[in-house]
């Protein structure tokens, strides 16, 4: 098991960050979503490495096999942990990929540390630019949603995670895009996280304002979101980010739930590989009419 050390700038603690490093060539750094771990990238790992790229994936503090301190779940600290990964592995020309909560880490890192190590950004189903509804953020999600999540986590965390997984992958009476054993597997990954971190991160991803971070992004960016996402609705998130980063390529996966890293795993792997290698996502390179413009979103069936 590999770990590196991130020095917590507030507490002075040495926080061990668990990571995996595979392949060679241009690096892609994968940041997982809440409440999972680096294991969520299982179905992207092999295709990316076999395409001749290097993959580094790591566990956020409090999750997976990283240390689980009592504090440090704000985005500035989480971005510092990401900086420790990039610096200690001496990664450059990085394609930085943030899924859901991980999208916040990616843009906050760029805001705090610049893009000397990062050449491309990918935000997938991300919580950016500002998730909760406020007076100056009327397009956000009502705060009662997050309060309800915290109440259920406090009452019965495992039951909440079990129900959450079904919404995460779009499971309902009609649609069953994942098997029951796979749902249990992802639930168990989430259950292994620190209960304190699990709850603290709800407030973190709900109430952190990334609007200035997004507006300052200047590197080539790929945005991906499912139009059936019931966890992070694209209307409150990536639709808005696309206007803040006008040069970004925006792919909307038709029928995709939040957990599209599994339900649309082949499309996602192709898009990540193509973007890292060519600067354009697979579906832009191979659009049927050949007229796709990088400033317009494309619906991916």
Alpha-carbon dihedral sign for residues 38, 201, 267, 293: negative
| 229 assigned to active site | yes
Pick the catalytic residue from 18, 100, 194, 236: 100
End-to-end CA distance of the chain: 39
Q: Cα(6)–Cα(289) distance, rounded to whole angstroms?
A: 48
Q: Cα(142)–Cα(132) distance, rounded to whole angstroms?
A: 6
3-state SS assignment for residue 28: strand
Pick the catalytic residue from 32, 225, 258, 264: 258
Q: Cα(46)–Cα(59) distance, rounded to whole angstroms?
A: 18
From residue 266, alpha-carbon distances to 102, 143, 152, 166 in Å are 20, 34, 34, 21
| 100 assigned to active site | yes
Task: Compute, in degrees rounded to 10, the torsion defined by CA atoms 211, 213, 218, 221.
Answer: -80
Pick the catalytic residue from 229, 237, 283, 297: 229
3-state SS assignment for residue 68: coil
Two tokens, residue 210: 């990334």
Active site residues: 100, 229, 258
């Amino acid at each position: 098991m590999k770990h590196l050390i991130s020095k917590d700038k507030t507490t002075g603690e040495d926080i061990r960050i668990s990571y995996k490093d595979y392949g060679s060539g241009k690096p892609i750094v994968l940041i997982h979503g809440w409440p999972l771990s680096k294991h969520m990238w299982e179905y992207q790992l092999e295709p990316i490495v076999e395409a001749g790229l290097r993959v580094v994936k790591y566990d956020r503090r409090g999750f997976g096999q990283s240390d689980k301190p009592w504090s440090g779940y704000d985005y500035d600290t989480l971005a510092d942990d990401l900086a420790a990964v990039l610096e200690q592995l001496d990664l450059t020309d990085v394609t930085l990929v943030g899924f859901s909560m991980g999208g916040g880490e990616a843009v906050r890192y760029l805001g705090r540390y610049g893009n000397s190590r990062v050449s491309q950004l990918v935000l997938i189903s991300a919580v950016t630019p500002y998730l909760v509804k406020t007076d100056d953020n009327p397009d956000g999600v009502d705060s009662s949603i997050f309060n309800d999540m915290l109440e259920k986590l406090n009452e019965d965390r495992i039951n909440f995670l079990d129900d959450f997984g079904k919404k995460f992958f779009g499971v309902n009476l009609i649609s069953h895009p994942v098997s029951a054993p796979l749902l249990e597997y992802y639930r168990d990954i989430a259950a292994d996280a620190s209960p304190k971190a699990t709850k603290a991160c709800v407030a973190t991803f709900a109430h952190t304002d990334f609007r200035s971070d997004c507006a300052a992004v200047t590197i080539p960016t790929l945005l991906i979101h499912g139009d059936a996402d019931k966890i992070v609705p694209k209307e409150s998130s990536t639709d808005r980010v696309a206007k803040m980063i006008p040069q970004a390529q925006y792919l909307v996966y038709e029928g995709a739930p939040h957990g599209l890293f599994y339900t649309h795993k082949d499309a996602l792997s192709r898009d990540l590989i193509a973007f890292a290698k060519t600067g354009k996502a697979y579906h832009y390179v191979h659009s049927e009419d050949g007229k796709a413009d990088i400033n317009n979103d494309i619906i991916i069936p």
